Structure formats: C-alpha cells, structure tokens
Amino acid sequence: MSDLSATSLTDPQTWVPGVPHEAFDLLREDGGISWVEPETGGYWALTGYDEIAAVSKDHDRFTVEQGSFYPRPAPEVLDSQRGMLLLMDPPDHTRLRRMVSKSFTPRVVGKFDTWIRDVVVQILDEVPETEPFDFISVVAARIPGLVIASILGIDEEKDRELIVDCANDIFAIDAPDGPERHVRAQERLAQYVVELRDHKRLYPGDDMVTSLIDARDENGELLTDQEYVKYIALLVLAGYETTHTLLGQTMLAMIEHPEIADQLQAAVADGGSSGAVEELLRFVTPVNYFSRTATEDVELNGCRIRKGDEVVLWYTAGNRDPKVFPEPHRFDPTRSPNMHMAFGGGGVHHCMGNHVARLEVRLFLEEVFARGLEFELAGEAVRGANIFANQLKSLPVRRTAGGAR
C-alpha cells in the first residue's frame, strides 16, 4: 500500500485488506496535519498524536454538533443521531453526562467482575470442540451483547439479538444501502428502548434502565424522553462495537502472529493482563476516527483551518505516532506509558464506558489462557468495507488439537 494516495482513505474498499498504516505514516510526515481532497470534498486529516489531542480538547472551536462522521452523513442520518452525547457540545453535553456517568465509574464497574467473568466463561464453554465456527458471531459479538443486555436489565434472548442486529446495521453506514439501514435500525432501537423503559416502570430491577427513570440533573429535572432514548441507543452502539471489534481482531492477531499469543499469555501469567489490554487497544484501535467541524478560523501547525472546514481525527494514526510510541508498529504488552487514543483523544468526549470494555477483554484473555484454548483459521477472515471501525465481519476458526480446557 505504499503508493496508496491519501484521497482513498475515505473509500471503504481501501480498508478491506487492512488498516492502511503506511499511508498514515506518509501523511504524518506533513507535520501531523494535511489537507486532503477526495471526491467527497476536502477535509483536514489529523494523523499526529498531539494534533489529534489538541482538537479533541478544544470543543469551543471544533464542534461535533454538525456531525462526527466524514463525509458528513445524509440529513436523515444526521437527524437520527441528534440528541446523542456523541453530537453534543457543552453545556448540554455536560448536563447529560453528569446525569448518567455515575453508572460507569471505575468503582461501579469493579463490581461487574464476577458476573462478566461468568458471561465469558459461559460463552467459551459453548465453543464447539471440533467443528469450525465463526468466532465473530459465536464469541466476539455475544460477549458484549450479553454484557450490555445485563447492564440494561434485558432478559429475553430475542431482545438481546435485536440489540446486536441494530448495532450491526447502524455501523454498516458505509455500505451501498447503509444510510437506509442506519436510519431504520435507529428507529427500531428507539422503539425498543421506549418499550423497555415502560416495562421497567412496572417491573423495576437493579439495572441501568431502572436507575435512569428517576435520574435528575442539578436542577431536579428528569431525563427527557429523547435524552433517555438517545443515551441508551449510544450505550448499546458504543458498548457493542468497540469490544466486538477488539475481541475479533485480538483473536486474528493471535492466530496470524503466534508471537503475539505468546506475549499475551506471558503477560497474563505475570499479572500484566491490564497492560496487555491497553496495548491491544492501541495496536488494534477499534474506532478509526471521529470528525469535528471548525467553528472559526484556527491555525494549527502553520495550517489555516477555515470556519466550516471538516477535521478528521484519525485515532488509528495517532496510536502509531513514533513521537509518542517508540517502534509503534511493534506489539508490546509491557509498553509503558501507553496513553493511547482508542477511546478518543481526550476532552469531554472520552468514551464513558471504557472501563467496561477493558474489563471484558481482560477477562476474555484470562479465561482463554486458563482453559488452554488455542485456535486456527478454518477459512479466510472477512474484513468490513468500513471507514469508521476496524471491523471484522467473520472469522472462521476451529480449536486446535492442543487446545484443551
């Protein structure tokens, strides 16, 4: 891919063979910021760690309210996203985040360890002994799907499947029929979470939906219907896609690069599973980018960003910036410090559910190695034609003879 032009980074087909790291390395030589003009229109590509962090933390001059995807979505898609934290700047963002963030503090998530481990164990114990299977649908999608369902208080298997189906359709926005699928899935998910809230009013439980029914801001105001719907929808999407992608890419890396599997196993055995998860987050970077729009003229590294210009924050490039990460293309679970951008570049939009995602992947690694599970490819891995996520659509595998519980 050394001759890959910067303009093709926004072509979904560019991502099918893998993340175009060589193209990002070349772009980064421009000083971490480059003007790129694909057919979809010009935008500023940020590929340097410091540049991405600067814009991420500057919500006054770089807004998300005009959309966080590039190219800017169709009006109907953007309308379906409005009201989400993802498309809010302070003070609206601050008010809503304060109301819901108590559910995801490290202290609260620390209490999830036992039951999330039970979910991981259940799924791994159901892995076929000898028959090939799709790791994505059998393991990588089910773990976050069941975790999110439990957090929300969803018991029915068909409802859990609905969540996964909606998430898959919403993140298929780069497909030819992506915008239509995206809007339909948003509407379907919104209808479901309203029904779920109504059910929890009659049958409350120890779950997030029940707690949000009575959540109030500093003025004593309850969540509006739209705020409730949009927050639960974002929780489902963010909680599913990041973990589902990271688990799939982790397994593929372990199979294709046995030295990575050895490094991960050694890290877990030495009590370094948390550090291993941080390096996987940096190395994989499940979410490739988010975008911002300049609200005024801004100068960054000698480049004049005009009011209204779109700015794409390529987290996957920032996570391979050699100024911050020595030998950035080498996997090193002992890397320290490891201030990666897998959950954003800092600022108010840092992923609120990051502690849950970290916990899921750590427990997965611990239980895989505790059981001596080993896998091999049983077919070709299929990557998604997706700019936004480092997506695997399928990963056919089978257990190897040496992989015993």
In tens, the pLDDT along 363-379 reads 999 999 999 999 999 99
Nearest to 370 by CA among 397, 334, 404: 404
pLDDT interval class at 232 (50, 70, 90): confident
pLDDT digits (tens, 9 = 90+) for 30-46: 899 999 987 777 899 99
Task: Look at phi and psi of residue 219 and say left if phi exceeds 0, alpha if psi is from -120 to 50, else beta.
Answer: alpha
Paired tokens of 161: 């499947």
Sole residue written with tokens 């700047």? 89
Nearest to 140 by CA among 168, 114, 111, 174: 168
Which residue reads 């992608």 in tokens? Answer: 245
User: Cα separation of 228 and 225, whole Å?
Assistant: 5
* Proportion of the chain above pLDDT 90, given as a percent: 60
pLDDT in tens, 78-122: 887 787 888 899 988 888 888 877 767 777 777 899 999 999 999
Residue 3's pLDDT is what?
41
pLDDT of residue 402: 61
> Would you put residue 398 in left (φ > 0), alpha (ψ -120 to 50) or beta?
beta
Tell me the whole-structure pTM to 2 decimals.
0.92
> What pLDDT is attached to residue 2?
33
pLDDT digits (tens, 9 = 90+) for 120-132: 999 999 999 999 9
Task: Measure the CA angle with vertex 156, ends 150 and 158; round to 5°.
Answer: 115
